[in-house]
Chains A and B, each alone.
Chain A
Amino acid sequence: MEALSILFGAGFTFAVALALGSLLLGEACRDWPARFIAGAAILSTLVFVLCATHLAYWWTFLLLGILSCAGAWGRRFRLPAFPSLPDKHRILIFFFILYFVLYFFSAMAPEWSPDGVTYHLGFVARYFREHGFHRITWNMYASLSEGIEMLFLFAFAFGRHSAASMVHFAFTAALGWQMFLYGRRSGFDVVGACGALLVFASPIVGIDGTSAYNDVAVAAVGFTLFDLVQQAAGRNSPRFAAAIGLAAGFCYAVKYTAWPAVLYAVAMMLWKTRRIKPALITAVTAALVITPWMAKNWMWLQNPMAPFYNRYFPNPYITTAFEEGYRQDLRMYDLTSRSQIPMAVTTSGSLGGLLGPIFLLTPIALLALRRREGRQLLLAAAVFGCNYFSNISPRFLIAPLPFIALSMMLALSAIPQLMIAVAVVHAIVSWPAYIPKYCAPNAWHLSKIPYREALRLKSEDEYLGSHVIDYGVEQMVEQSTAPGATVFTYRPIPEAYTSRRILVNYESAFNQTLGLIVQQAYDPQLMATWRLRFAFARRSLRGMRVTQTNTANDLWNIHELRIFDGAAELPRRPEWRLTAQPYPWTIQEAFDNSIVTFWRCGEAARPGQFVRVDFHRVETADAVSIESAPDQPGIRLKLEGQDEAGNWMNLADAPQVSDAAPPLGLRRASMDELRRRGVDYILTFEDERETRDLRAHAELWGLREIAHYKETKLYQLP
């Protein structure tokens, strides 16, 4: 029964997308992959609207699907065309079928992919539970465009997690088919088939395209866009231009990194049609798909391109410092040189998967420049690959991969036997049984045909337990905590299988503050033991400003800023106004009399950053004391004051620095602060540096261990 619901969920989603695409394209294009992709863009946008209006129910999806299918009834689409391959090349079909079977059952098996079970499906499950979007500020992944997740949600409503994976598999199949159709249309069937096999059999495409990810989907949408653009010359169909626009916009909606597709589509439409109107239709339809995602982020997170470009769209949710560190990590992972990338992404899989060793031959694709089709393909490869170095995981090469593969095959097309041999060798060495013979031990790839798991003849829990890191932890959380509970953790867990709100340390500025509040209770570098005291001649002031004057990698932070008149601290009057630049949103925490809370400026130290107090009256003062952590040796501060006439003047060039002992009860106070911020539980893992002290001295923190799974412990806050 479960298998049937999975097949129905995925099949229904596929059918509805196909129906919507057929309604749009009519006779303008009868290729089923193109109709499916264009329809998927429409369906995704419609599901977005249902989520925005909190109408995401299974019955609304069913109604939408039935209406779409009824409207498209009788529309024709092109049926499979493989038989046009010469008999001697039928070996290619054999491999396509072999891999199709592998992928079909892999997609249908319980979903276990790392990102799939943490956030791709974690949000899908949440949207389905809550019948639409709610403001999520605690997880940066919620602000990524989720065009494919909207389709996952449609399928999830009927077939849950595996139905979503099968939707992605539909894109994988559509990509292969579309590549073949492109080759045939361009007059080189065998090149198209060989190129499609290079992509279809690629290990990273196999595992990604059968998981609840989005990389193969963006490749399928991107290639369809390319194929439609190639057919645009001489066509005068607004529907065709609209389909191109939908595909271009859907590229962005599926994955941010594919945004150049929009520029590519509009520019190519101008070039191919030599007319403004088709390009305009393309641009407008692309905007229809893109705008909802930008609007959602703009309204809820003050940044249309969240979680990136926070320097240009400053907001409380993601700091510039975090973004810079995150980007830096993704640019190199653990590699020491970019020269290691080719082997890592093609053969060893040390960056999280592998394209297949055959792709070490990628440079031969340049030989395709001799042909017009080759130049078009390589241009598209450049468009879809131009953002690769922002994240060097091989998953980010999947989008340009179809163009590279076809270019490689085009380059070898003068020697057809060699071309087919390359494709066949690739299909053989990419088979799951052979991959471990040459890849790194932890490379991400499929391992077998999981038909018993797919048909649910084998226990789902057993399968997930053997594949998902920390599977069991989320079950412990689900069973041991109250509905609606909030759990803080330093490590992500499979959120797709729990309904609790999980705050992962790195996933937002708010969570990072929670993590620091915990860590400062035992880490002397983070405790507020640093005292910076500015002394100056007693005077009347309307305001004060502490300015940072140095450039350093430290993050300026203040636990408490106190202003004195003699021995007495000035009471913080309600009419005072506090601000900071950058990151003003937590400045109150430097004025709340709590040594556990703090303001952290969110960017590496740069001259001109300041914290300012406007008294909105005249106050008399002669000293300012800053209590902060010693983890910022690179900062240099000066103090300025605003006199009664409103003029700013220098009060002190530098503070006197001293140390103080940490106050007693920091551990307990930090837990009280987490509680105040809505955290109910804290999840800790074995050998986790950040929670080692907490696990060793739970009683000092006021924590009660309520459950454990293997070495993972769940504590309830006091």
Chain B
Amino acid sequence: MWPEEGSGCSRVLPFLFVIRFASVALLLSGCGRLPETFAPPVQRTALAAAPFVVMSDPHADDYIEQGFRDKSEGPWRWAREHPVLRFRLPRLATATFHMTLTRPGAPFPLDAPMTLTFSCNGHVFDRARFEKPGEFQYEHAVPVEFLKPDAVNLIAIDPDKTVARPGEKLSFVVIRAGFTE
């Protein structure tokens, strides 16, 4: 590890200084140097992966408790009337919930705003209103007292309106969602 601190007051004789200089000079006056090579270092413990679900991920189902279509349609997935996501969280000092969502224009009326109610383990922490159709980056702090450390935490996102489709009621589209500290 560099940089190196000097090693106390050890004496270095002048001739040693000269010999070292001469040695280095001889070495460096040879042919052009190739890049140095190194062995792989000691492997470190990786940080916990972010509790994030990307709906294009083949393992996205692991993060879904209920209320979503069974399969993603490209990089996104439809939510139904009572969608719930699940995240295993470590102990956090602060937590922010992020979600990239789309409020489609159709089949909803274009001028109909939508309100989503966010709750964590049954505690409501935000209500967000989305006036127009489009893609939104939502983020909101979640009080840490709502969270269960080192356990599965349920995030429910309840829409105030849905659109009926054969066999299901659809509300909005999730692209990705998760927590940051």
Chain A contact residues, CB within 8 Å of chain B: 49, 52-55, 130-131, 133-138, 295, 298-299, 316-317, 484, 501, 508, 510, 572-582, 584-585, 587-589, 591-597, 614, 660-667, 669, 677-678, 697, 699-700
Contact = CB atoms under 8 A, between A and B. Distances in A.
A137 B3 contact: yes
Contacts of B44: 592-594, 597
Given A134-B5, A136-B3, A137-B2, A579 B13 contact: no
Given A580-B35, A584-B36, A130 B6 contact: yes
Contacts of B35: 579-582, 584
A508 B48 CA distance: 31
Contact of B181 (A580, A582, A585, A665): A665
A316 B1 CA distance: 11
B76 to A, nearest CB: 15
Given A576-B39, A584-B36, A678-B1, A594 B46 contact: yes
Interface string B2-34: 111111011111100100110011001000000
A697 to B, nearest CB: 8
27 contacts: A53-B13, A54-B9, A54-B11, A54-B12, A135-B3, A298-B25, A317-B2, A484-B5, A510-B2, A572-B40, A577-B37, A577-B39, A578-B37, A579-B37, A581-B35, A582-B35, A584-B37, A596-B47, A660-B50, A662-B50, A663-B46, A663-B50, A664-B47, A665-B47, A666-B47, A666-B181, A697-B94
A664 B14 contact: no
A130 B47 CA distance: 40
Nearest to B15: A53
A572 B44 CA distance: 12
A664 B17 contact: no
A438 B90 CA distance: 63
A677 B11 contact: no
A298 B28 contact: yes
B121 to A, nearest CB: 18
Nearest to B25: A298
A582 B17 CA distance: 30
A52 B49 contact: no
Nearest to B21: A295
B41 A591 contact: yes
Contact of B40 (A55, A588, A597): A588
Contacts of B52: 660-661
B93 interface: yes
Contacts of B47: 594-596, 663-666, 669
Contacts of B117: none
Given A584-B35, A664-B90, 18 more contacts: A53-B11, A54-B11, A55-B11, A134-B6, A135-B3, A501-B5, A572-B40, A576-B40, A592-B42, A592-B43, A595-B46, A596-B47, A662-B50, A663-B46, A663-B49, A664-B179, A665-B47, A700-B93
Contacts of B90: 664-665
Nearest to A578: B38
Nearest to B33: A314
Nearest to B95: A664
**Closest 10 pairs (CB-CB, A-B):** A134-B6, A661-B50, A661-B52, A572-B40, A137-B3, A138-B3, A663-B47, A594-B44, A577-B37, A588-B41
B35 to A, nearest CB: 4
Residue picked from B14, B24, B35, B49, most chain A C-beta under 10 Å: B35
Nearest to A316: B2
B9 A137 contact: no
A662 B21 contact: no
What is the predominant secondary structure among interface residues of chain A facing chain B?
Answer: loop
Nearest to B28: A298
A657 to B, nearest CB: 13
Interface in B103-141: none
A664 B3 contact: no
B17 A52 contact: yes
Given A298-B25, A508-B3, A577-B37, A593 B45 contact: yes
B162 to A, nearest CB: 28
A672 to B, nearest CB: 10
A299 B21 contact: yes
A498 to B, nearest CB: 15
Given A298-B25, A593-B43, A664-B48, A49 B37 contact: no
Contact of A577 (B5, B28, B38, B50): B38
Contacts of A133: 6
Interface in B77-110: 90, 92-94, 98
B67 interface: no
A574 B13 CA distance: 38
A508 B1 CA distance: 14
A581 B5 CA distance: 28
B5 A664 contact: no
B91 to A, nearest CB: 10
Contacts of B48: 663-665
Contacts of A588: 38-41
A53 B43 contact: no
Nearest to A701: B93
A298 B27 CA distance: 11
A317 B3 CA distance: 9
Contacts of A299: 20-21, 24
A573 B40 contact: yes
B33 to A, nearest CB: 8
Contacts of A576: 39-40
B178 interface: yes
A298 B48 CA distance: 43
Residue picked from B37, B90, B176, B178, most chain A C-beta under 10 Å: B37
B7 A134 contact: yes
Given A130-B6, A662-B50, A585 B21 contact: no
A600 B91 CA distance: 32
Contacts of B24: 298-299
A303 to B, nearest CB: 10
B42 to A, nearest CB: 7
Contacts of B7: 134
A667 B47 CA distance: 11
Nearest to A592: B41
Given A661-B52, A665-B181, A700-B93, A587 B38 contact: yes
